[in-house]
């Protein structure tokens, strides 16, 4: 999702507002009479609404409250990447190298860095929940509510991706720690055996050998218990990160559900548009056929009218002409000449 950083604009407006407030405070000794005169003039000229509108415009430019929370989440993610890449991963590689030195300091540093990263992830999750609660406030505008929801989904996706990378790194380190435990234990046992053989060859008594073996066995048990505590601490950190990951994953799944709904609506609209296009083609065909049918009906009526005219015209002539009287048989008609 694309966004713009409005922090600089907010700081500039805040600085301008503070400057105006301080200037007003410095001129407060002249303000009483001037305010009364100004209110009278504004009431007479009708400019009071303009004076009020200036203040409203200045307040409307300020960004929403969740913009600062978004910047905080980005800062926390940058810190997490820096700690993981520059401090934690080199310590993991160094800690996995073979050796018999005391590495308590490294283990404490690894535990501290892991705790810091977990705390930063928890803060990111808390900030995202605050943005989500602000998006559900009743007095917020619809546009701001929609933007806050989109910002919530985008931040949840980013934090979930970083969380997944950290979990994979911790799981890989935990697997390597479990794989190195038998090898380290075997190396300690072999070293203790070599030392015990060397000491026995010098001629130590059986009691001293047994005491030294008990001490070495206690050291081996201490190493094993220490490794087990490290593994338990790493597993606990992975569990906490997993809980945060599940919460963020639910937000990402909700975003995917919304996208699926949008895709479904687009597909449905596409199918509806295709059906509407087919219906329009059918309607055009019906309209063209109805025009032809009207012309055919008009021609049929004209033909019928012509036939009726041809039938009734001789009958009308016959009725209009006088009847011709024929003479009887054997009598010629008289012809009169003038």
C-alpha distances in angstroms, 237 versus 89, 118, 124, 160, 249?
16, 7, 16, 16, 18
Percent of the chain with pLDDT over 70: 49
| Pairwise CA distance, residues 81 & 46, whole Å | 58
- The runs of H, that is alpha helices, within the chain are 7-26, 31-45, 48-60, 66-83, 89-95, 104-135, 142-202, 206-320
> What is the tens place of the pLDDT at every residue in 143-174?
777 887 888 888 888 888 888 888 888 778 77
CATH, domain range 37-182+229-253: 1.20.58
For 24-61, b/e burial (b = at least 16 CB within 10 A) is eeeeeeeeeeeeeeeeeeeeeeeeeeeeeeeeeeeeee
| Pairwise CA distance, residues 201 & 324, whole Å | 173
Whether residue 258 has pLDDT greater than 60: no
Looking up tokens 């021609």, which residue turns up?
299
C-alpha distances in angstroms, 187 versus 84, 104, 318?
31, 19, 141
Averaged over 55-66, what is the pLDDT? Answer: 58
Q: Which residue has the higher pLDDT, 197 or 72?
A: 72
Averaged over 269-283, what is the pLDDT? Answer: 85
Contacts of 76 (CB under 8 A, 6+ apart): 120, 121, 123, 124, 127
Tell me the CA end-to-end span of the chain in Å, nearest whole number: 121
Q: What per-residue confidence (pLDDT) applies to 139?
A: 79
Q: Are 161 and 151 in contact (CB under 8 A)?
A: no
Residue of 155, 224, 149 lying closest to 183 (CA atoms): 224
> What is the tens place of the pLDDT at every residue in 18-60?
545 444 444 444 444 455 555 554 444 444 454 444 444 444 5
Whole-prediction pTM: 0.45
Q: What per-residue confidence (pLDDT) applies to 120?
A: 87
Q: Which of 8-12, 189-193, 230-234 has the largest mean confidence?
A: 8-12
Q: What per-residue confidence (pLDDT) applies to 25?
A: 45
Averaged over 63-92, what is the pLDDT? Answer: 84
Angle at 24 between CA 18 and CA 27, to 5 degrees: 145
DSSP line for 294-307: HHHHHHHHHHHHHH
| Angle between helix 48-60 and helix 31-45 axes, rounded to 10 deg | 110
| Angle between helix 104-135 and helix 66-83 axes, rounded to 10 deg | 160
What is the band of 239 on the pLDDT scale with cuts at 50, 70, 90?
Answer: low
> What is the tens place of the pLDDT at every residue in 193-233?
555 555 544 444 555 656 666 665 566 656 666 666 666 66
Averaged over 86-97, what is the pLDDT? Answer: 81
Percent of the chain with pLDDT over 90: 2
Mean pLDDT of all residues in the chain?
69
Q: Which residue has the higher pLDDT, 1 or 261?
A: 261
């Amino acid at each position: 999702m694309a966004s713009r950083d409005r922090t600089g604009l907010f700081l500039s407006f805040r600085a301008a507002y503070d400057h105006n407030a301080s200037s007003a405070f410095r001129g407060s000794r002249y303000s009483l009479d001037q305010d009364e005169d100004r209110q009278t003039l504004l009431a007479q000229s009708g400019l009071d609404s303009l004076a009020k509108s200036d203040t409203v415009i200045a307040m409307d430019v300020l960004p929403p409250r969740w913009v600062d929370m978004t910047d905080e989440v980005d800062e926390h993610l940058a810190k997490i990447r820096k700690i993981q890449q520059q401090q934690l991963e080199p310590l993991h590689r160094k800690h996995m190298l073979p050796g018999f030195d005391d590495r308590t300091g490294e283990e404490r540093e690894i535990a501290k860095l892991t705790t810091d990263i977990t705390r930063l992830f928890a803060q990111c999750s808390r900030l995202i929940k605050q943005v989500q609660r602000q998006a559900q406030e009743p007095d917020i505008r619809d546009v701001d509510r929609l933007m806050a929801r989109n910002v919530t989904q985008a931040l949840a996706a980013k934090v979930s991706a970083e969380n997944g990378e950290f979990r994979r790194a911790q799981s890989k380190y935990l697997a390597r720690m479990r794989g190195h435990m038998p090898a380290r234990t075997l190396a300690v046992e072999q070293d203790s055996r070599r030392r015990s053989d060397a000491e026995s060859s010098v001629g130590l008594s059986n009691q001293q050998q047994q005491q030294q073996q008990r001490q070495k066995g206690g050291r081996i048990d201490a190493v094993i218990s220490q490794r087990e505590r490290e593994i338990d601490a790493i597993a606990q950190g992975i569990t906490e990160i997993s809980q945060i990951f599940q919460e963020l994953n639910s937000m990402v799944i909700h975003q995917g559900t919304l996208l699926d709904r949008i895709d479904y609506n687009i597909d449905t609209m596409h199918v509806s548009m295709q059906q509407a296009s087919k219906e329009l083609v059918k309607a055009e065909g019906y309209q063209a056929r109805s025009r032809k049918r009207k012309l055919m009906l008009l021609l049929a009526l004209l033909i019928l009218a012509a036939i009726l005219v041809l039938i009734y015209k001789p009958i009308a002539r016959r009725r209009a002409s006088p009847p011709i009287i024929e003479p009887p048989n054997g009598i010629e008609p008289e012809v009169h000449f003038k």
